[in-house]
């Protein structure tokens, strides 16, 4: 089960139209480290109801804590989700 701050959830819902609680419904296909932050964060790509999403999360006390959940950008999808040929 993923954890999140209720205020962060409200902000994510307003900005991206999806609750952070939906991360539990995500079938994660790929996880990459997020190199753009000082705190160790991860980018997970997977599907919710057939649509590709990006979950940004960190690990705190051994548990996943959601930071953001949104539809994956096409560039991210091509780079991280599609297999190399």
Q: What is the DSSP string of 51-78?
A: EEEEEEEEEETTEEEEEEEEEPPHHHII
Scan for tokens 């997020």, then name that residue.
34
Q: Is residue 16 part of a domain?
A: yes
Residue 38 lies inside a defined structural domain of this protein: yes
Residue 65 belongs to a domain: yes
Residue 1 lies in a domain: no
Q: What is the pTM of this model?
A: 0.86
Residue 27 forms part of a structural domain:
yes
Strands across the sheet containing 63-71? 27-34, 41-48, 51-60, 63-71
**What does the pLDDT read at residue 81?**
64
Q: Is residue 43 part of a domain?
A: yes
pLDDT by residue (tens digit) across 26-71? 999 889 888 777 789 999 999 999 898 999 999 989 999 999 999 9
Q: In total, how many domains does the chain have? A: 1
6-17: pLDDT as tens digits: 999 999 999 999
Return the number of other C-beta atoms located less than 10 Å from residue 50's C-beta. 5
**Domain interval for residue 66:** 6-81
């Amino acid at each position: 089960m993923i954890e999140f701050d209720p205020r962060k959830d409200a902000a994510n819902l307003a900005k991206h139209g999806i609750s952070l609680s939906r991360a539990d419904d995500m079938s994660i296909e790929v996880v990459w480290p997020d190199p753009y932050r000082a705190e160790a964060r991860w980018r997970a790509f997977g599907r919710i109801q057939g649509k590709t999403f990006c979950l940004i999360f960190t690990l705190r006390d051994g548990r996943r804590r959601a930071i953001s959940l949104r539809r994956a950008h096409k560039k991210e999808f091509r780079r991280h989700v599609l297999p190399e040929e």
